[in-house]
Amino acid sequence: MAKYAIYKSATGYYYYTYHDTLESLKGTKFDGIVTEDRLPVVIGSGGYFTFDPDDYMFDRLVECEGCPLKLEEMFFKNQDTFKLGWMSPDGDTYSCDYTSHTKAAVALADKFFPGAKLPERTLGKAGWLKIIDSWDGTSREHGQFVYSQSGKITKRQADKLFDLGLYDNKEVREMIKECEDSW
């Protein structure tokens, strides 16, 4: 059974593997590198760092088999403060930060389209919207941009975009104009 350190961000929880013994490091690339005096450590994709239980983002330790978090915990579903992430054809939102759309797409595809080879493309073909942070290169402000692979939008998505204050975005208005006759 593996141990995980769970951390909270503004858009969801994330985790690192937690190691408090040299024995638990056996079989990892840090076996023989991390010494007893450095324990406990947490290991992520970029390496290891000393575990600090007072880290303001640390939430809890979990011991389990498999992934310690559900999809809706990693990418908050229908979060009141949603800004960026993915929106299903039913209008459900899954939050992520501006660099985690691909990671979120992998988790979403695993749940809704098991076996998908290209998660972002799979979501797009299934009518999911990608809400990203955009910048036109000239203004000082970043903004939210709504991307639809098909150029189409559902009524539920349009309603949710209205609730999120994105109804007046140029690309949203164009998609609504193209699709509202089919609703």
List, for residues 121-162, the tens digit of each pLDDT value: 999 999 999 999 987 667 777 788 999 999 999 999 999 999
**Under 8 Å between Cβ of 38 and 45:** no
DSSP 102-130: HHHHHHHHHHHSTT-SSHHHHHHHTT-EE
CB atoms inside a 10 Å sphere around CB 101? 22
β-bridge partners, 129: 87, 148
Task: Tell me what the pLDDT averaged over the chain comes to.
Answer: 94
List of E strands, 37-160: 41-44, 47-50, 58-64, 85-87, 93-95, 129-134, 143-148
Q: HSE of 151 in the Cβ direction (CA atoms, 13 Å)?
A: 3
Tell me the domain boundaries of the chain. Answer: 2-68, 73-182
pLDDT of residue 103: 95
Helix (H, G, I), strand (E, B) or coil at 47: strand
* Phi/psi at 87 (5° precision): -130, 125
Nearest Cα to Cα of residue 95 among 8, 5, 10: 10
* pTM score: 0.89
pLDDT digits (tens, 9 = 90+) for 38-56: 999 999 888 999 999 999 9
* C-alpha separations of 119 from 68, 137, 155, 156, 173 in Å: 21, 28, 24, 22, 27
CA distance 45 to 130: 25
**Under 8 Å between Cβ of 134 and 143:** yes
pLDDT digits (tens, 9 = 90+) for 44-102: 888 999 999 999 999 999 999 999 999 999 999 999 999 999 999 999 999 999 889 99
Q: Which two tokens stand for residue 178?
A: 């193209």
* Phi/psi at 74 (5° precision): -75, -35
Helix (H, G, I), strand (E, B) or coil at 164: coil
pLDDT of residue 136: 66
Q: HSE of 144 in the Cβ direction (CA atoms, 13 Å)?
A: 20
